[in-house]
Amino acid sequence: MSRPTGAWRHQPQHRGRMWAASPFFRRQLVLLRSLLPQSPPPSSVAGCRFAHLSSPSGTSGSLRAARAMAAATVYEADAEAVVRRITPPLDRARHKGQAGKIAVIGGCREYTGAPYFAAISALKVGADLSHVFCTKDAATVIKSYSPELIVHPILEESYSDCVSNIMKHARQANIPTVVDGDGLFLITNNLGLVEGNPLAILTPNVYEYKRLVQKVLNCDVNEETASEQLMELCHKIGGVTIMQKGKADVICDGKTVTQVSTFGSPRRCGGQGDILSGSVAVFTSWAQHFILSNEQPTEKRVNPTTLGCIAGSLLLRKAASLAFEKNKRSTVTTDIIEFLGKSLEDICPAEH
Amino acid sequence: MSRPTGAWRHQPQHRGRMWAASPFFRRQLVLLRSLLPQSPPPSSVAGCRFAHLSSPSGTSGSLRAARAMAAATVYEADAEAVVRRITPPLDRARHKGQAGKIAVIGGCREYTGAPYFAAISALKVGADLSHVFCTKDAATVIKSYSPELIVHPILEESYSDCVSNIMKHARQANIPTVVDGDGLFLITNNLGLVEGNPLAILTPNVYEYKRLVQKVLNCDVNEETASEQLMELCHKIGGVTIMQKGKADVICDGKTVTQVSTFGSPRRCGGQGDILSGSVAVFTSWAQHFILSNEQPTEKRVNPTTLGCIAGSLLLRKAASLAFEKNKRSTVTTDIIEFLGKSLEDICPAEH
């Protein structure tokens, strides 16, 4: 996979500094360089049609449900088929980086676990290189979690402006961008950062989604018209993909609404959303490449972001289920990450 | 579980600074915000009576014993039944934070292990989020122990005044508070901090208990009237719960005296008290919610702090026993923490 993907998290308070004019501009160029695409890998996945949509899940006979289905039918994704389609075969001729590079922008004085979880999950899913761009304080700690990550201590404690610029550059370079955690606060106050970017993915949890709806649609979350509201939110923000995390993860790219409801685990330990960010980033990158290298009739093309979200959601749920089976109530995020590999192997064996 | 719980530890020497007027006041607001309750979770435990008291352990026929029994009979807790009653079922509809949030206040230049043990134990027992509030020096180290914890480097090296204020706020918000280690020195010199707080739990070991008795009751520990003395101490401090740690853990809330004497391990490695603090905090929070969501006749209501102490004591003893069976003389606190999950699962299977 030639293109890196980004999962942006945890930017502290805006200080109003212009990024391009700031003294840390040069240091941050290393970040942009790491995002530049390598030469594209050879296409190696056989052309095949996507099979990610199965039956609609809303089947109530009520008028309301009928209206809802007409407006925004929610399909249950055939998520295993999606994972199998977009995961690239392991090709002996490939070089380091071609199976994916990820840049996680996050990590400050307070938060170090979240960017670590996202970055290590990307590696465990199958990316070749995982970079973390964070503050100096956070870097020492994140480095100590794992020698596998490349950690760049180049951000200032207040790095909203910087993240905004990175998002603009990522967009120009067609790099899929996952926005989670505090990144959602940033874009809620500046929708222009993701507006009209078909490769931007927002992954709000229940609280973050509520805030997004209130800020963008100027109303409260309405459970009865949930999928229409999600569709409206996508349109209002303009062409982005939103994965609304919950009991089922509901994914909308402004055209279709798909959900993954495979049961994962009843444990709600903090950090699972970070696994998802890292995994979705890698899968979206793979899906993007799959679509580019397998000619599809335009009308049959599915958004790579939708595919990435479906695959990431399923993988987290499978891994959480296995981790819970083993560790029960004491399951923590690290236990789940340990099962990402087995979960992917169960769906899509490396030697297929 | 909607309410976070706190385990306060290790505050160094008082410097007489006013917390509210201090320059770090604003930074510390993040701590208070993290303590604010979320909307309460749905009640999901079926109404049932507590079954935590079994037979009195003092059965001597002497006059003195008869007097002691009349004054403060010590009951052996049916601790397994308590754990089963208060541990919430894992509900698929719940969100992150609803199974418990804990804030550990502790960790300075010298001590980093204790707050880590308390915070990670809370997660392993089943809390969703575990925060540590400590000094900057301690934060880097505690973060590096585990990416699962959220560590806030916001305390000054001398933070007695700050801890005092946190305790006052926790009390106003009905948040159970476990006071251990150096926190016990703080409250010994300022009983007003816990006086009349029914959700305050003191967990002194043999030395700390001796000091408490000397300071508060102005006399030495008397083994012959141990339970009456414990009861008197509770009354003098005013409505708090005290768990006197020892061969048996003896728990008194000023009304009843209960003990847990299940054998744990002969190993006395440092740090086991920290496991206890973290576990008791989570269990008390669960017990508080259980009591609030299951209407009990007033006369049958048991203090959530007593239930929390019983459950925490049993779980530590079970885990210590399993860890000792495996590691014998080389057992350390981390080995015991590894068995918290299995111990809870043995008593109260996650799928119950």
Mean pLDDT score of chain B, rounded to an integer?
83
pTM flag (> 0.95): no
**Over residues A135-162, mean pLDDT:** 93
A266:B90 CB<8 A: yes
Among the ranges given (A212-221, B212-221, B268-277, B294-303), the one the predictor scored with the smallest mean pLDDT: B294-303
B124:A324 CB<8 A: no
For residue B43, pLDDT beyond 50: no
Q: How far apart are CA A231 and CA A229, in angstroms?
A: 5
The residue among B39, B121, B38 whose CA lies nearest residue B338 is B121
Helix (H) or strand (E) holding B133: strand B129-135
Give the gap in angstroms from C-alpha B333 to the nearest C-alpha of chain A. 16
Among the ranges given (A2-11, A18-27, A259-268, B324-333), the one the predictor scored with the smallest mean pLDDT: A18-27
Cβ neighbors of A252 (< 8 A, separation 6 or more) are: A72, A227, A230, A231, A233, A234, A241, A242, A244, A258
A269 touches chain B (CB under 8 A): yes
| Antiparallel, parallel or unpaired: β A74-77 and A53-56 | antiparallel
**Over residues A219-225, mean pLDDT:** 95
Instruction: Please state, as a whole number, how many other Cβ atoms lie within 10 Å of the Cβ of residue A344.
Output: 23
For residue A154, pLDDT beyond 70: yes
Name which of A182, A329, A334, A338 to mutate to probe chain B: the one with the most chain B Cβ atoms within 10 A of its Cβ.
A329
Confidence at residue A95, expressed as pLDDT on a 0 to 100 scale: 83
pLDDT in tens, A100-112: 899 999 999 889 9
The residue among B235, B285, B292 whose CA lies nearest residue B87 is B285
Quickly tell me which residue has 């089943």 as its tokens. B126
A30 touches chain B (CB under 8 A): no
Query: Which is more confidently placed, A32 or B154?
Result: B154
pLDDT in tens, B233-268: 999 999 999 999 999 999 999 999 999 999 999 998
Confidence at residue A91, expressed as pLDDT on a 0 to 100 scale: 83
Cβ pair A101, A131 in contact under 8 A = yes
Residue A100 φ/ψ region, left for φ over 0, alpha for ψ in the -120 to 50 degree band, beta for the rest = left
For residue A144, pLDDT beyond 90: yes
Distance of CA A180 to the CA centre of its chain: 8
pLDDT interval class at B1 (50, 70, 90): very low
Rg (Cα) of chain B, in Å, rounded? Answer: 19
For residue A40, pLDDT beyond 60: no
A158 touches chain B (CB under 8 A): no
Counting every residue, how long is chain A? 352
Query: In the beta sheet, which residues pair with residue B105?
Result: B8, B133
B124 → chain A, closest CA residue: A330
Please name the amino acid found at residue A262.
T
Cβ neighbors of A73 (< 8 A, separation 6 or more) are: A56, A58, A227, A257
Give the gap in angstroms from C-alpha B281 to the nearest C-alpha of chain A. 16
Instruction: Please state, as a whole number, how many other Cβ atoms lie within 10 Å of the Cβ of residue B51.
Output: 13
Q: How far apart are CA B328 and CA B330, in angstroms?
A: 5
B99 vs A263, A268, A272: nearest CB: A268
Confidence at residue B135, expressed as pLDDT on a 0 to 100 scale: 95
Counting every residue, how long is chain B? 352
For residue A59, pLDDT beyond 50: no
| Antiparallel, parallel or unpaired: β A129-135 and A4-8 | unpaired
Q: How far apart are CA B180 and CA B184, in angstroms?
A: 6
For residue A42, pLDDT beyond 90: no
**Over residues B313-328, mean pLDDT:** 98
Apex B73 CA angle, B68 and B76, nearest 5: 140
> Residue A195 phi/psi, 5° resolution?
-50, 125
Sheet with A177-179: list strands edge to edge.
Answer: A53-56, A74-77, A257-260, A249-252, A241-244, A200-202, A177-179, A4-8, A101-105, A129-135, A150-155
Distance of CA B349 to the CA centre of its chain: 23
Q: How far apart are CA A76 and CA A153, in angstroms?
A: 41
The two three-digit tokens of residue B40, written as one number = 């309460």
% of chain A at pLDDT higher than 70: 79
CB-based burial, A317-339: b 16+ in 10 Å, e otherwise: bbbbbbbbeebbbbbbbbbbbeb
Mean pLDDT score of chain A, rounded to an integer?
83
Q: How far apart are CA A75 and CA A82, in angstroms?
A: 14
B140:A145 CB<8 A: no
> Residue A149 phi/psi, 5° resolution?
-90, 155
Q: Tell which A residues from 165 to 224 touch B, by Cβ distance under 8 Å.
A: 205-207
* Interchain CB contacts (distance < 8 Å): A and B: 96
pLDDT interval class at A3 (50, 70, 90): very low
For residue B322, pLDDT beyond 80: yes
**Over residues A208-217, mean pLDDT:** 96
**Over residues B278-292, mean pLDDT:** 96
**Over residues B134-154, mean pLDDT:** 96
Q: How far apart are CA B278 and CA B131, in angstroms?
A: 11
A329:B153 CB<8 A: no
Confidence at residue A268, expressed as pLDDT on a 0 to 100 scale: 86
pLDDT in tens, A117-141: 999 999 999 999 999 999 999 999 9
**Over residues A47-75, mean pLDDT:** 46
A268 vs B95, B149, B341: nearest CB: B95
Sheet with B74-77: list strands edge to edge.
Answer: B53-56, B74-77, B257-260, B249-252, B241-244, B200-202, B177-179, B4-8, B101-105, B129-135, B150-155
Cβ pair B2, B37 in contact under 8 A = yes
Helix (H) or strand (E) holding B81: helix B79-86
**Over residues A161-183, mean pLDDT:** 94
Quickly tell me which residue has 């914890």 as its tokens. B149
For residue A204, pLDDT beyond 90: yes
Chain B environment of A327 (Cβ under 8 Å): 341
The two three-digit tokens of residue A19, written as one number = 């990024």
Q: How far apart are CA B56 and CA B53, in angstroms?
A: 8
A270:B96 CB<8 A: yes
Give the gap in angstroms from C-alpha B169 to the nearest C-alpha of chain A. 22
B26 touches chain A (CB under 8 A): no
pLDDT in tens, B160-182: 899 999 999 999 999 999 999 99
Confidence at residue B60, expressed as pLDDT on a 0 to 100 scale: 42
The residue among A228, A212, A322 whose CA lies nearest residue A275 is A322
Quickly tell me which residue has 């239930």 as its tokens. B307
B341 touches chain A (CB under 8 A): yes
Confidence at residue B7, expressed as pLDDT on a 0 to 100 scale: 52
Q: How far apart are CA A247 and CA A74, in angstroms?
A: 14
A268:B128 CB<8 A: yes
B237 touches chain A (CB under 8 A): no
B153:A327 CB<8 A: no
Confidence at residue A294, expressed as pLDDT on a 0 to 100 scale: 85
pLDDT in tens, A243-293: 999 999 999 999 999 999 999 999 988 999 999 999 999 999 999 999 988
B335-B336-B341-B344 Cα dihedral, nearest 10 degrees: 160
B344:A328 CB<8 A: yes
A268:B149 CB<8 A: no
β strands within A136-211, DSSP E: 150-155, 177-179, 200-202
Cβ neighbors of B275 (< 8 A, separation 6 or more) are: B117, B118, B121, B316, B319, B333, B336, B337, B340
For residue B342, pLDDT beyond 80: yes
Chain B environment of A267 (Cβ under 8 Å): 90, 99, 126
The two three-digit tokens of residue B26, written as one number = 């604003």
Chain B environment of A272 (Cβ under 8 Å): 96
Apex A77 CA angle, A74 and A82, nearest 5: 150
Cβ pair A292, A269 in contact under 8 A = no
